[in-house]
Amino acid sequence: MNLQGVQVPSIKSRGYLVDVMLLTLIVKATEKYAQDGMTVLDVGCGEKPYRNLFGNVEYVGIDVRKDSHADVICDAKHLPFREGSFSICLSFQVFEHVDEPIPAVEEIFRVLSFNGFVFISLPASWVIHGAPNDYWRWTQYGVKKLLEDFSLQELYRCRGSVASLIQTCELFIPRKLKMLIVLFNMLGIFLDKSVWLDKWFAQFDINYFAVAKKEENHECKC
């Protein structure tokens, strides 16, 4: 796993369990689907934390925030690009802040080339953040519905139920209790490997990561 130039989540952080799993899934998807020479659009790019994973590509970031590292300031519902402009579209932990997610997904579909891919991550359960622009949480069925115009290639839970519960409990630990957070993270990693244990709990998800493809014979239903 090549993480050169990419900030790795700290085990002392309260979001570690999800953040490190999400990074692992993004890296694997990049290694599987991305190639040199591609054009990549990062929707809600922020500081472009994953730029260095994509190597020699044309990488364009958009964001609504003027203090971001965006190349273009715009919202996800109005992308100023031609149809089929990009090989891969990214959107990580952004769509909970998009007031109308369906039009935004339709725009991604439009600017994505045929046989291109969208990588997206979405929260299932998390505290309110970025208020007042925090609107949505998803189930795995909601993710499939959101991406129904695409051919879904991969869909992952970013941790099992037990680790997700531990991650949620960490939100109530004061940041100054670093060692307690570390212990919770270590426990979460250990228990997350016990697949049999997860079966004893009702499914509780905290985050999803999906890869979907724009098929040549698949038109947007919009």
Using DSSP's 3-state secondary structure scheme, residue 129 falls into coil
Condensed to tens digits (0 to 9), the pLDDT of residues 119-169 reads 999 999 999 998 999 999 999 999 999 999 999 999 999 999 999 999 999
Structural domains for the chain: 19-158+206-213 (3.40.50.150)
Average pLDDT over residues 95-111: 96
The pLDDT of residue 220: 61
Query: Binning pLDDT at 50, 70 and 90, where does residue 12 land?
Result: very high
Question: What rounded mean pLDDT belongs to the chain?
Answer: 92
CB atoms within 10 A of CB 166: 21
Helix 161-170 to helix 16-33 angle (10° resolution) is 130
Condensed to tens digits (0 to 9), the pLDDT of residues 37-55 reads 999 999 999 999 999 999 8
The letter for the amino acid at 176 is K
| Helix residue spans in the chain (DSSP H) | 16-33, 101-111, 140-146, 161-170, 178-192, 195-198
Query: Binning pLDDT at 50, 70 and 90, where does residue 201 land?
Result: confident
Query: Binning pLDDT at 50, 70 and 90, where does residue 6 land?
Result: confident
Token pair of 126 as six digits: 């998390």
- Strands of 112-123's sheet in order across: 72-73, 58-63, 39-43, 86-92, 112-123, 207-213, 151-157
The pLDDT of residue 219: 62
178 pLDDT exceeds 80? Answer: yes
Nearest in space to 55 (alpha carbons), one of 36, 74, 73? 36
The pLDDT of residue 202: 82
